[in-house]
Chain A
Amino acid sequence: MINLAGRDILHAWGKFVFTGVGLGLLIGVTLTMAGVYRGMVDDARVLLDNSAADLWVVQKDTLGPYAEPSSLYDDVYRGILGMPGVARAANVTYFTMQVRQGTRDVRTMVVGVVPGGPGEPGQPGYLVAGRRIARSHYEAVADVVTGFRLGERIQIRRDYYTVIGLTRRMVSSNGDPMVFIPLKDAQEAQFLKDNDAILQQRRRTLANPALNRPGVPGLAEAVIASQAKNPYVNAVLVQVKPGHLPQEVAERISRWKRLQVYTRAQMDAILVGKLIATSARQIGMFLVILAIVSAAIVAFIIYTLTLGKIREIAVLKLIGTKNRTIAGMILQQALGLGAIGFAVGKVAATFWAPVFPKYVLLEPGDAVLGFFAVMAICVLASLVAIRAALQVDPAEAIGG
């Protein structure tokens, strides 16, 4: 027996290829959407991995530091360092802002880290170029996505920093590339808005008779100096000594002070489950809509092609073709269309993924799942056409 579906596809290949490419681009978008989600999850995990932390100590009753603002006194870490089971503890700050390089503004997540050697929590785990932050002022390590290069000077608020190292795959949950600077600079930059704000603050302090008393010289200056200091950080990253369970150390720290402590698993759940959840739902909606649109396209095309063959189908039935053979022919055409579409979509997604602004992680498992979803959609979409074909009366081939 010859394959009727295959012969029809070869005969009308233009229609199939044209529709297949259109469908394929849709499938490509679908695969990319899934890849964007995977990329977000992966980014989050890389972010956690590169923090080199076992525990995140944040403000009580917050989901900080990534999902909610969190604020701690910058001396809390000393107390934590003294606790049993704690190997290292380091302050860290995070804030999103524009970083200026030459005439260019780049939206980044600025991370304040404690200068130090490898293994210090907070600093990026690996660099693609340059060295780690060793001095406590005006050095920066930037993610390559920022476009900054080694030796370039960048401006964060009032101050200039020299790029001394480059890292990779360090982005916030919003996809902003990270720029690491020394903690003290970061605290200051986070606290001080800009020159204007400082001048205004200063003016207000001097204008306040309670703070600027003629009888107490130096009081106003002392107040201004204290106002200019920022004693807060967003989180303390903790490394646990070998042989200690992170969970136990976490409980000890949270009992000690009114602090919230998250383990790696809990942080993962917050990032993936809460922060990315909205995006995931959005992407999920897109996937559902794309699936419906794809199904509609396949159904419409297969139905139209089938209606165009009603007389041939009547003749085929009249000369004794089984209903099953005719249904199989239509089903195979739908699957053929799906296969063309999937191939086009996979190739398209692979080609355009690298130029996407967000990290797109195309997982083979998703592709396999996508393939079966496409095939299932094609089966469903062919049902209307199959129904129409089965209703064709073989008597229609004989004149009225």
Chain B
Amino acid sequence: MAGKGIRIERLRKRYGAGDTAVDALKDVNMQVAAGEVVGLIGPSGSGKSTLLKCLGAVIEPSAGRMVLGDEVIYDDGWKIGDLRTLRRDKIGFIFQAPYLIPFLDVVDNVALLPMLAGRSNTESRHLALELLEALGVAHRARGMPSQLSGGEQQRVSIARALVNRPPVILADEPTAPLDGERALGVIRILNHMARQYQTAIIVVTHDEKIIPTFKRIYHIRDGRTEEEVGQGVAFE
């Protein structure tokens, strides 16, 4: 199971070189503990997507350090060898839309991840069902994604992000298409799952409805982060 969450220090990212270079991230520092959900907010063009891609190990930062669990991922230009298996085993992703694989049924959409990690089909489906159960969508396990409601699909995508028990989950505007009640429902689930599976969850959002729920918020402006204390409105 996960452990120490995620820590990044003095992360920088420069796109391009010379006169046209853009410093999208200038000095980013974050620390999210296992079991914690934090918000990442900032105006458009401030560097949120760039940071998410660095955290998600799809682009490499130009400098700075990132530690995931107790594993160093980046350290001032050095990076670990295999980012693909890192993404598979250590990072969960939740997107604006569920982005399920339309030709796989619900259980296999989730079970695909442990399968990719080399587990047997039976074991993978067992793990998948366990999470679908926890998220209240086990009864749709044999359905196809297109047969599910938007909310059900989003739960399946959360199950997918959790199934390999990653130390960190990155959520990119997970409530954008949802109304207030449902948006809060998703955040409630994320909080619950973070505690239950001891995962650090970073939620990139614009959504005014859910910002008050975070206990801690990282505000990013012009490529620099500032930590703020959130309202941490408790759920009923």
Q: Which residues of A contact B (CB under 8 A)?
A: 1-2, 4, 7-8, 10-12, 311-312, 315-322, 325, 393-395, 397-400
Q: How many A-B residue pairs have CB under 8 A?
A: 75
Contact status A312-B84, CB under 8 Å: no
Taking CB atoms, residues of chain A closer than 8 Å to B36 are none
Taking CB atoms, residues of chain B closer than 8 Å to A322 are 84
Q: Which of A2, A317, A397 has most B Cβ within 10 Å?
A: A2
Residue B49 is within 8 A (CB to CB) of chain A in the complex: yes
B121 and chain A: residue at smallest CB distance: A2
Taking CB atoms, residues of chain A closer than 8 Å to B121 are 1-2
Q: Which residues of B contact A (CB under 8 A)?
A: 49, 52-53, 56, 58-59, 84-85, 87-89, 93, 95-96, 99, 101-104, 108, 111-113, 115-117, 121, 144, 160, 172-173
Using known A-B contacts A321-B116, A322-B84, A398-B58, determine if residue A311 contacts B99 with beta carbons closer than 8 Å: yes
A325 and chain B: residue at smallest CB distance: B116
- 22 residue pairs of the A-B complex, CB under 8 angstroms, read A1-B121, A2-B111, A2-B112, A4-B104, A11-B103, A312-B102, A315-B95, A316-B101, A318-B56, A319-B112, A319-B116, A319-B160, A320-B88, A320-B116, A320-B117, A321-B116, A325-B116, A395-B59, A397-B99, A398-B49, A398-B56, A398-B93
Contact status B59-A11, CB under 8 Å: no
A12 to B113, CA, bound (A): 23
The smallest beta-carbon distance between B214 and chain A, in angstroms, is 20
A9 and chain B: residue at smallest CB distance: B103
The smallest beta-carbon distance between A397 and chain B, in angstroms, is 6
Taking CB atoms, residues of chain B closer than 8 Å to A312 are 99, 101-102
Taking CB atoms, residues of chain A closer than 8 Å to B101 are 312, 315-316
B89 and chain A: residue at smallest CB distance: A320
B118 and chain A: residue at smallest CB distance: A1
Using known A-B contacts A2-B104, A400-B49, determine if residue A395 contacts B173 with beta carbons closer than 8 Å: no
Q: Which of B49, B87, B101, B144 has most A Cβ within 10 Å?
A: B101
Taking CB atoms, residues of chain A closer than 8 Å to B115 are 1-2
Taking CB atoms, residues of chain B closer than 8 Å to A393 are 58
Taking CB atoms, residues of chain B closer than 8 Å to A2 are 104, 108, 111-112, 115, 121
**Closest A-B pairs by Cβ, 9 of them:** A320-B88, A11-B103, A395-B58, A8-B103, A7-B103, A320-B87, A315-B99, A394-B58, A1-B115
Taking CB atoms, residues of chain A closer than 8 Å to B173 are 399
Contact status A399-B103, CB under 8 Å: no
A107 to B108, CA, bound (A): 66
Taking CB atoms, residues of chain B closer than 8 Å to A321 are 116
Using known A-B contacts A1-B121, A399-B49, A399-B95, determine if residue A10 contacts B56 with beta carbons closer than 8 Å: no
Contact status B84-A320, CB under 8 Å: yes
A374 to B44, CA, bound (A): 52
Contact status A398-B99, CB under 8 Å: no
Q: Which of A4, A395, A398 has most B Cβ within 10 Å?
A: A398
Taking CB atoms, residues of chain B closer than 8 Å to A10 are 103
Taking CB atoms, residues of chain B closer than 8 Å to A395 are 53, 56, 58-59
A12 and chain B: residue at smallest CB distance: B103
A28 to B104, CA, bound (A): 33
Using known A-B contacts A319-B113, A394-B58, determine if residue A399 contacts B172 with beta carbons closer than 8 Å: yes
A325 to B96, CA, bound (A): 26
A8 and chain B: residue at smallest CB distance: B103
A218 to B173, CA, bound (A): 118
Using known A-B contacts A395-B59, A397-B95, determine if residue A320 contacts B85 with beta carbons closer than 8 Å: yes
Taking CB atoms, residues of chain B closer than 8 Å to A1 are 115-116, 121
A12 to B144, CA, bound (A): 13
